[in-house]
Amino acid sequence: MLSLVVLISGGGSNLRALLEASEDAEFPARVVAVGADRDADGFAHAEEFGIPTFSCALSAFADRDAWGDAMLEQIRLWNPDLVILSGFMKLFPPRVVDALSPNLINTHPAFLPEFPGAHGVRDALAARVTETGASVIIVDNGVDSGPIISQRRIPVLPGDTEATLHERIKPIERELLIQAVLDIANGHINLKELATA
């Protein structure tokens, strides 16, 4: 059984999908804790499922390294097999990425390497592309630049706004994320090999 720590910053709809998936006794992973860089709305999902939460605000620390060390300490308390950034909108300092890699993955609402960063959906709309997508990647020390685990194309429809497009991307992200967790748990995806390929 794969143990997961999920980190969020916002509503946590992808987190909720994971929590629902893990209710199935056959699902080979369990969320053991949910963390955030703030008092995230998505903590409500964790509480509903009886999962402990923790948060460390960047502003409460002298610098990003000190904040990263505090997050790492909290994460390590749970000794997870895999850490999932799911709408976690802060960049970890390199020493935290290096400590967790390659068992640190991220979901992103674009077809990477297209439109990395905090505004993947907005940037795709601004570029007037007809297709964007969703990706699950291994986190490295760049911005959404790590090895791609899985991704899928999604059309941009006439009249799409950032909100409508993001709402169509999210269910695909959830499918990709749940499948990635399954594949990692059953050995079909080897993160170590993927990270060094």
**Residues contributing to the site for ligand GAR (CB under 6 A):** 8, 10-15, 42, 86-87, 107-109, 118, 120, 170, 173
Closest CA to 44 of 5, 13, 87: 13
Look up 108 and say whether it is catalytic.
yes
Positive or negative, the CA dihedral 111, 114, 120, 125 is negative
Minimal distance, residue 147 CB to ligand GAR, in Å: 16
Burial bucket for residue 133 (CB in 10 Å: 0-12, 13-18, 19+): buried
For ligand GAR, which residue has the nearest CB? 87
Please pick, among 108, 119, 166, 188, the residue that the annotation labels catalytic. 108
CB nearer ligand GAR, residue 44 or residue 118: 118
Q: How far apart are CA 138 and CA 36, in angstroms?
A: 19
CB nearer ligand GAR, residue 1 or residue 57: 57
Using alpha carbons only, what angle is made at residue 134 by residues 120 and 108, rounded to the nearest 5 degrees? 50
CB nearer ligand GAR, residue 102 or residue 133: 133
Minimal distance, residue 11 CB to ligand GAR, in Å: 4
The partner residues of 161 in beta bridges, in order of sequence, read none
Minimal distance, residue 166 CB to ligand GAR, in Å: 6
Hey, which residues are catalytic here? Answer: 108
